[in-house]
Amino acid sequence: MSNYNFAYLDEQTKRMIRRAILKGLAIPGYQVPFASREMPMPYGWGTGGVQVSAAVLTPEDTFKVIDQGADDTTNAVSIRTFFERTAGVETTTATCDATVIQTRHRIPEEALQEGQILVYQVPIPEPLRFLEPRESETRKMHSLEEYGLMHVKLYEDISRHGHIATSYAYPVKVEGRYVMDPSPIPKFDNPKLGDMAAIQLFGAGREQRIYALPPYTQVVSLDFEDHPFEASKADHPCGMCGATDSYLDELIVDDAGGRMFVCSDTDYCEARQAAGHKGKDAA
């Protein structure tokens, strides 16, 4: 890969992305259009996150990639290898050692610190898209702060099911202005979005949008007074480390349909196990 520029992208492309990131930070929650480039991995596989990471990385960074909270899922491995090769950056699986973390579908359990940057891969950045497929319409709705449709949808859930039936990609309102899609993180992670010490950047490659949350930004999950937002997870402790406060994956462990629950954040789980915590399924 030595024929390619540092972090793969050419400098002009990086400048374009960097300008979009700055505007995103200046207007938290607003989706900045950017001329996403074709990347050497398919659209939908993290091209937005990869372009944002490429635009922020310096050679001194330590980079971590997670998919579903795990460092060892195949696409996380693939993206990590890509930056090892093209940017020569050090990589890590330890959340606390990373300066830039690219993620798909999770926010690490461990609280992030100042000096860290969390880059999200976003498939559909428009929170109103499934209510209104037309970009020209949703853009108008954002400009007019016309979010009634979203509230109607959530309220229909309540009248049908007794509560809001959105379990991931749960919409949030940023600084009382823009309704934002937090990417398909489980709603369990939503409370971590606000007041975070780290910078959060969101990249949607195919949809050509970048948006951002500066540190300590006010982020509120949409809800109703009589139906307040509730962050939920499987009501079990982790089978490996015994954690009761982490988001869990459910695994089928035998032909009889036996199940166990394990932290989706592999680094968190391993660190707890190394510190001597043990769940009921641990060897």
Partner 1 sequence: MQAAPLSGGFANTATQSAHAFRSVMEAMARPGTIQDIEGASPPAPLSPAAGAVLLTLCDTETPVYLAGEMDCDAVRSWLSFHTGAPFVGPAQCMFAVGIWDALGPLSIYPIGTSEYPDRSTTLIVDSAGLSASGAKLKGPGIKDYAALFLPELEAFQANNLLFPLGLDFIFTKGSELAALPRSTQISRLDSKAGAQVGAS
Partner 2 sequence: MYVAVKGGERAIENAHAWLAEERRGDKGVAELGVAQIREQLALSVNRVMAEGSLYDPDLAALAIKQARGDLIEAIFLIRAYRTTLPRFGASEPVDTGAMACDRRISATFKDLPGGQVLGPTFDYTHRLLDFKLAADGEVAEAPSREAAAGDVPHVTDFLNREGLIEQAPHDDTPPPDLTREPLEMPADRALRLQALTRADEGFTLGLAYSTQRGYGRNHAFVGELRIGSVPVEMDIPELGFAVEVGEVTLTECETVNQFTGSKTEPPQFTRGYGLVFGQTERKAISMALVDRALRWEELGEDNVGAPAQDAEFVLYHADNIQATGFLEHIKLPHYVDFQSELELVRKLRREAGVDQVAEAAE
Residue 130, number of CB atoms within 10 A of its CB:
10
The alpha-helical segments, DSSP class H, found in the chain are: 11-26, 47-56, 74-87, 135-143, 148-161, 190-193, 266-274
Are 227 and 243 in contact by the 8 Å Cβ rule? The answer is: no
- The active-site residue, picked from 24, 69, 239, 263, is 263
The entry of partner 2, partner 1, none near residue 262 (CB within 5 to 8 angstroms by kind) is partner 2
The entry of partner 2, partner 1, none near residue 186 (CB within 5 to 8 angstroms by kind) is partner 2
d(CA 38, CA 20): 17
- The values of phi and psi at residue 214, to 5°, are -65, 165
Interaction mask 224-263, partner 1, x per CB under 8 A: ----------------------------------------
Give catalytic status of residue 238 as yes or no.
Answer: yes
Strands 178-180 and 199-204: unpaired
- The active-site residue, picked from 46, 239, 242, 269, is 269
Identity of the residue numbered 29:
G
Interaction mask 1-40, partner 1, x per CB under 8 A: ----xxx---xx-xxx-xxxxxxxxxxx-x-xx-------
Give catalytic status of residue 29 as yes or no.
Answer: yes
The entry of partner 2, partner 1, none near residue 26 (CB within 5 to 8 angstroms by kind) is partner 1
Interaction mask 52-91, partner 1, x per CB under 8 A: ---xxxxx--------------------------------
- Choose among 50, 46, 41, 51: nearest CA to 18: 51
The β-bridge partners of 210 are: 32, 203
Tokens of 199: 């910078």
Give catalytic status of residue 96 as yes or no.
Answer: no
Residues annotated as part of the active site: 29, 238, 241, 263, 269
Name the residues that contact partner 1, by CB under 8 A.
5-7, 11-12, 14-16, 18-28, 30, 32-33, 55-59, 114, 139-140, 142-144, 175, 177-178, 197, 199, 212-218
